Amino acid sequence: MLSSEFSAIAHSIIVIDVTTGLFGHKTECKSLTSHSLPTKHYRTRDSVLTTLFQISHIRTVYNIFVAVTIIFSANTVIQDFIDPKINLYAYDMDILRFTFGNLDDVFRIWLSMKMSTIFIPFWGVLLWMAYRPKVGKKICPTDWIFFIAYIIYQIYIFSSFT
């Protein structure tokens, strides 16, 4: 079936015009009798940063910034471990104990949020799609019922985890 549609489109081509589009890319404009849009050809291209990093000067500047960042980070860590009295902001790793002290609570909250997202909104949207009448773009009472249920779910989620 697909090949018959393709051959029907291929037979309806009147003129193939190859023009130069924006940025020097060649685009192929096909005039069709059925008033359809011209075909698009998608190509993979390198990103702007990939193109810039091919220039040796830009690579050098990037490597200098990476090296300076590593040196400053290593200097700070070594200074904190060797002599924490020199550093005004030495906390003796209390900040790490405070951050990771209640890791089981973090995993419990994260797991409950993930499970509630998987089961409640996903299945709610599936139910809404199944029970919504085919009325086009009109808003029906079923839409309002599921919308209010979703708002109640959001209020419950944000109030229970804060």
**Cross-strand partners of 18:** 28
pLDDT of res. 85: 66
Examine residue 42 and state whether it is found in any structural domain, yes or no: no
End-to-end alpha-carbon separation of the chain, Å?
56
Are 56 and 91 contained in the same domain?
A: yes
Query: Whole-prediction pTM value?
Result: 0.35
According to the model, what pLDDT value does residue 63 have? 92
Phi and psi at 27, nearest 5°, equal -115, 150
Q: Are residues 12 and 27 in the same domain?
A: yes
Per-residue b/e over 37-56, b at no fewer than 16 CB within 10 Å? eeeeeeeeeeeeeeeeeeee
Mark whether 115 and 141 lie in a shared domain: yes
Which portions of the chain are predicted below pLDDT 50? 1-2, 4-25, 27, 29, 32
Residue 53, both tokens: 């990093």
Beta-bridged to residue 8, according to DSSP, are: none
Q: Do 13 and 32 contact (CB within 8 A), yes or no?
A: yes
Q: Are residues 87 and 123 in the same domain?
A: no
Residue 37 lies in a domain: no
Full residue range of the structural domain in which residue 154 is found:
102-160
Residues 107 and 156 in one domain: yes
pLDDT of residue 88: 58
